[in-house]
Each structure stands twice: as C-alpha cells, then as structure tokens.
Chain A
Amino acid sequence: MPEQQQVFIAGGTTTPFDYPVNLQIEELVANTIRQLYDDIPNFHLKDVREDGMVVYSHFSVHFAHQLTSYWILHDHLGLVGVPHFRIDNGGNTGGSALYAAYALVRAGLADVVPVIGYELMGSVSQSKGSEFIAIASDTRYEAMLGANYTNYYAGLARIFMEEYGLTEEDFAEIAVKNKNNAIATGEKAQHYRKVGKKLTVDDVMGSRLISYPLKKWDCCFMSEGAATILVTNEKYAKQYSPDHYVEITGAGLSSCTIRAGDRYAFPGWTERYGEGYPGLGEFAACRHSAEVAYKMAGINWKDSHKQIDVAEVHDAFSTSEFQIYNALGWCESTTPKQFIRDKMPMMDGEIPTNPGGGLIGYGHPVGATGLMSAIECYYQLTGLVPREHKSTDNEVKDAEVGLVNSHAGTGTSISNFILKRV
C-alpha cells in the first residue's frame, strides 16, 4: 500500500506571458521542460515515466476549438504510457491542478508530478475572448445581460468599498504595486513586455472606465503562455534541487456559489460564519481554504500576516486583491483601510504581496496563472529571484514562509497554499 509522504516543490518555470503569441501549445510547453532540464541537471522525464503522473492545467477548450488538447502535449513530450489527466476549475485551474498534484504525492500514489499549465487565448478577438471566459458564469442568468466578469467583480468591489470606507486610490495603490513589481521581474512579465515602464496612481486614476470602481489599469489583460512546476516527494526534491526546494506545508481548497448574488445568505456560510457573511463583498471560499491551509501549517488566523513573509495572490483586479487580503485574515488586527495605508503589502511592507507582479503585472493565461504564482513564490523562498529576474528589486530577502492563492469565478473556487523554505 502507498504511504503518506511530505510534498515539495523542486523547480518551476514559465514562458514569457504576452498576447497574442505566434506559438503552438507543444512548443510553449516543451520550452518550459527544456528550461527545467537546463535549470535542474538531475531532472529527467524518465523519472516521471517510472514514478510519476502528469497533471495538466488548462481552462478553456473554446479558444482552440480542441477538446483534450493535453493529449497533444502528453504525446509530444514522449510520455505515452504515463498516467495523465487535466484539471479545469476556472481561474483556479492552476491552484486546483497544484492541489491535485499535492494530493497524489501526499497519498503516495506518485513521487514526481510535473504540473503543466497553458492557455492560448489569441485565436479569437478580445471581445470574443471575454465572452468565452464569461460563459464560466451561469449563462442562463448572467451572460445574456451583456456583462462579463469585470462587471461582476466591480459590483462585488463596490459593496466592499462601502463597507470598509475605501477609495479608488486605495485600489490604485495595489495596481501600481503589481505593475511596477513586474518591471523588476523583467522579460517574462506582460507589463514589462507591453508597457515597460512604471506607472503611478495618477495613471490608474486617469485611465478609462471599465466598470466602476475599475479602470483599465486596475485590471489584468488577456495573456497567453505556459508554466510547469515540479511537485515531488522528499527523495526527488533532494535529488533535483538540494539547495532550492520548498515544502508545501498547507493546502486548502474551497468553493462558493457560481452566481455571486446567491452567496448573500447561503446556509453553508451562515452556519459556519454567522448571518451576514460573506454577503457580496467577501470571498468566503478564500477565507475557508486559507483557514484549512493555515491550520495544516500551524499558522494562526488572527496574526497570519506576521507569520507569512511573502505572498503571490490572484489579482485579476486590484479590488479583488484587496478582498483577498481581508479573506486571508490579514486585516484582523487592523482595518482594511489601515492595512493599505500602512503599505503592508508593498515591497518594504510587512507582507510583500505579488512581488512577481501578479496577474496585473505578469499576466493571466488562465491555466498557467496559479502555477506562475506558485513558481514566483518558490523563487522567493529559495533565493532564486536574482537568477530568474536578473534583478533584486523585487526580492523579499530571507523569506521563509510564503502563501500562494488561486481564485476562480466570482470567488467560486479558491485555493491557498503555504510553502516553507527547507
């Protein structure tokens, strides 16, 4: 019988995230594996053939009009015979794929699991692309209105703003932080590739209205790219990256309603957290999955921000990053307003968040996104930032404990992981 084992991350890399790109999925993914061969001389796909499985992380089949596109990849990588499956869980596809790999290694069913995420979205016009993403909403009630996810998120942000007395500028600070962190991340980050310069709060405030309170620079942009991360047991972690591996000490996954309006008084939440929670302003699935991950990792909810040194979270919008701070318990000992005004998530704050740039700065090719967040967090905890970013401007020195967050729908599926330097 397989025995439970500890789970580690032994390596990872992404392609540059951009839009559109002139690439096929197999070359994108092959590039990530070849990069890993370069970074980790002891790594070999033959180990996966002998002791592993592959989890593919891919969101939408609509963009390629191709079902099971990971079959093309698996075949291309020469892995015929190796067990494989694909995870799709909306924007939390990457986090959920990581969770699946974690579960496989934890259970002892596999010792080395590459999680391979990818998304090509440039095959259709941008507006058609947004429409394809919006069909992850309940199309019977929502998509026909002509609204898309940005509009739904903006509605959730507006009540959050009112409840905590926040301003557009508070959100703009987050957008600017992530855009500017991405400049230090360099050529893999979409903001570096497309814009290449730092932005200011005034730039955000002056950009065009997308959906109040969101303006153009508060939002991530459509992106394409791939990411591969190696989830392993202790033996392979030591064999591959003796000086650069982290342990996944906590993993949580939770879910919420598909239509945001249905969580106003959902019995499952009111029984757990009391009347009035989450309403429409809070991400209950984020809170719940964080509580699970924190408990596993021995982190206290109320002072979690003091026990985490660095975080990579799912900032599809500046507003949702703020809602995530609150759902992660970081504002428990202060207020959301004070949390941002004390610059806690900034590079020199108490809990630097999205130093890699996040979705707003690095990009959001859906299936690859959550993996990118995990990989950036892994770099921070293993001292690989100077090698990977060729800069130390967004390095969190001596970080020991990191948080990775991946987020879907209007908060419909959310995962949180705690990574610890070994």
Chain B
Amino acid sequence: MTKLHPTPNNNDFDWEDWKKLSKLIPEKGWVWQNFRAGSAADGSDWVEQQIYYDMLYTFRLGALSPYAKGLMNGKLMGTKCPKCGDVTFPPRVNCWNLDCKLEITDWVEMPMTGILHTFTICGFAAKSALKKLPFVLAYVLVGESKTAIANILKIDKPWHTETNMPVVVKFANEEDRVGNIIDFWFEPDPEWSPSPMNAEKERIEKLCEPVYEWVRILNR
C-alpha cells in the first residue's frame, strides 16, 4: 500500500473549543459605513461608498502540524526524504524530486545555525511591521537545508549585514510562541564580527537615517 497523508476522522477533534475561541472576535460581515458625492472639474459625477467587511480565518495545518508544534517547543522542524536524502527547511511534506514520486518525507530537527544567502534592508513594509523599520529581511540556509528561508535578521546596525555571514536562530519566550514563523528570527552568530565600513555600508546607513526619523514620529 502506498503511504498517504492520513485523513483523520472529524470526530477525533475537539471542534467545540474552537467555536468558543472564534466567538472572542465576533464577525459582522457587510457593514455600511459612509458615503460622499460630488462633481469633478469636468462635470462628471462621483459617488463613493464605504463598506466594512471583516473575516476571521481558521487555518488547519494538517501534515504541517509537526512544524508548528516544533516552533511552539522552540525547535525548527525540517523534512528529509527517505529516498534521496534531500533536507528542506521550510518543510516539504512530500519530496520535490520527481523521481521520488512524492515520497512522504520524515521530520528532522534542524540545527539552530545557518548561513545568510541574501538580504534587504526594509525602509518600508506591510502596515503591521512599520514600527520595526528599518529591519533586515534575510534569506538563510539553515543547517544542511537545500532551501533558504526568509525571516527577520535582528542586528544593531542593519548596514553591517553581509552575505555568507553565519547566523543563529533565536526564539520568542515560550509563553509568546504561537506556532507560526513569527516565533523565531535570526541574529548574527556571536562569534562573527562585521567587516569594516565600506561605501555600500555608508550608503545604506545614510538611506536609513530618514527611516529612523519617520519611525520616531510614528511612535510618538
């Protein structure tokens, strides 16, 4: 028999608990808000109507659950193909090699170290992250993984970020972990020290100045 990802019986889960949790954020659906109307300089009419719509998502992680549980326990769980041996983090629950015919992979615990492959210094980002600017988004090869994972690199002076620098994984405090990528981030390996300032680093430092200023105003 070919091994498949299990399809557990719905009765095995405690759905009632989830319903209680969902009630904490009541959904309202379509809610009328505002309107305004006028005429443009060329005489054409305009009308604007504002309608609010909210939604609460519940994502069920299925075969990826060991990854999320790993994060809650302060562990990075990757996958390894029993046929070809490829290790990937983020995990892939079936092997990516066509010759392995979607072999179901094994869970492996990843080391807490990696190499930074490439990066950017964000001067603008999504609304939820604006107050963290400027921050470094890094692509890191964790352990022997054949894939790089994107996450935040926490570093005092963002312009000192360098490709191929060694980094370590840091986890949020246990009580703050939620089983999502935001549970961890990267920091420079404590043994590592940046190369001296150069033209690019000076340029980035200068580009960051107004970002720091803008975030100071935002935080007021």
Contact A141 B150 (CB under 8 A): yes
3 nearest CB pairs, A to B: A146-B129, A209-B123, A261-B148
Task: Name the residue in A143, A151, A213, A280 with the highest tally of chain B Cβ atoms < 10 Å from its Cβ.
Answer: A151
With A22-B40, A261-B150 already in contact, 6 other A-B pairs whose C-beta atoms are closer than 8 Å: A145-B182, A151-B120, A159-B117, A162-B118, A211-B122, A268-B98
Q: Which of B65-110 contact A (CB under 8 A)?
A: 86, 88, 90, 96-98
Q: Which of A161-210 contact B (CB under 8 A)?
A: 162, 168, 208-210
CB distance from A161 to the nearest CB of B (A): 9
Find the A residue at minimum CB distance from B140. Answer: A261
Complex CA–CA separation, A210 to B126 (angstroms)? 11
Q: Does B58 contact A (CB under 8 A)?
A: no
Contact A147 B126 (CB under 8 A): yes
Known contacts A127-B127, A145-B182, A148-B126; A211 and B207 CB within 8 A of each other = no
Interface membership of chain B positions 123-152, coded 1 if the CB is closer than 8 angstroms to chain A and 0 otherwise: 111111100101001110100001111111
Contact B182 A144 (CB under 8 A): yes
Contact B163 A159 (CB under 8 A): yes
Q: Does B204 contact A (CB under 8 A)?
A: yes
Q: Does B216 contact A (CB under 8 A)?
A: no
- Looking at chain A, what size class is its interface with the partner chain? 35 or more
Contact A150 B124 (CB under 8 A): yes
Q: Does A128 contact B (CB under 8 A)?
A: yes
Please list 20 pairs of residues, one from A and one from B, whose beta carbons are closer than 8 Å in the complex, sorted by A's number. Answer: A130-B126, A131-B126, A140-B181, A141-B150, A142-B181, A145-B137, A145-B150, A146-B128, A146-B129, A152-B150, A155-B139, A162-B118, A208-B124, A208-B211, A212-B207, A215-B207, A261-B147, A266-B96, A267-B98, A280-B117
Provide the main secondary structure of the chain B interface. Answer: mixed
CB distance from A246 to the nearest CB of B (A): 36
Q: Does B208 contact A (CB under 8 A)?
A: yes
Q: Does A343 contact B (CB under 8 A)?
A: no
Q: Does B157 contact A (CB under 8 A)?
A: no
Residues on B lying within 8 angstroms of A by beta carbon are 40, 44, 46, 53, 59, 64, 86, 88, 90, 96-98, 117-129, 132, 134, 137-139, 141, 146-152, 163, 180-182, 203-204, 207-208, 210-211
Q: Does A281 contact B (CB under 8 A)?
A: yes
CB distance from B202 to the nearest CB of A (A): 13
Task: Name the residue in A140, A155, A214, A259 with the highest tally of chain B Cβ atoms < 10 Å from its Cβ.
Answer: A155
Contact A267 B96 (CB under 8 A): yes
Q: Does A301 contact B (CB under 8 A)?
A: no
Q: Does A256 contact B (CB under 8 A)?
A: no
Complex CA–CA separation, A157 to B139 (angstroms)? 12
CB distance from A267 to the nearest CB of B (A): 5
Find the B residue at minimum CB distance from A162. Answer: B163
Q: Which of A239-260 contact B (CB under 8 A)?
A: 259-260
Contact B139 A134 (CB under 8 A): no
- List residues of chain A with CB within 8 A of the CB of B147: 259, 261-262, 264-265
Q: Does A115 contact B (CB under 8 A)?
A: no
CB distance from B115 to the nearest CB of A (A): 11
Task: Name the residue in B44, B88, B120, B127 with the highest tally of chain A Cβ atoms < 10 Å from its Cβ.
Answer: B120
- List residues of chain A with CB within 8 A of the CB of B211: 208-209
CB distance from A18 to the nearest CB of B (A): 13
Find the A residue at minimum CB distance from B138. Answer: A155
Complex CA–CA separation, A143 to B137 (angstroms)? 12
Contact B125 A156 (CB under 8 A): no
- List residues of chain A with CB within 8 A of the CB of B203: 168
CB distance from A27 to the nearest CB of B (A): 11
- List residues of chain A with CB within 8 A of the CB of B180: 144
Contact B150 A259 (CB under 8 A): yes
Contact B125 A146 (CB under 8 A): yes
Q: Does A49 contact B (CB under 8 A)?
A: no
- List residues of chain B with CB within 8 A of the CB of A211: 120-125, 137
Find the A residue at minimum CB distance from B44. Answer: A22
Contact B163 A208 (CB under 8 A): no
Contact A144 B181 (CB under 8 A): yes
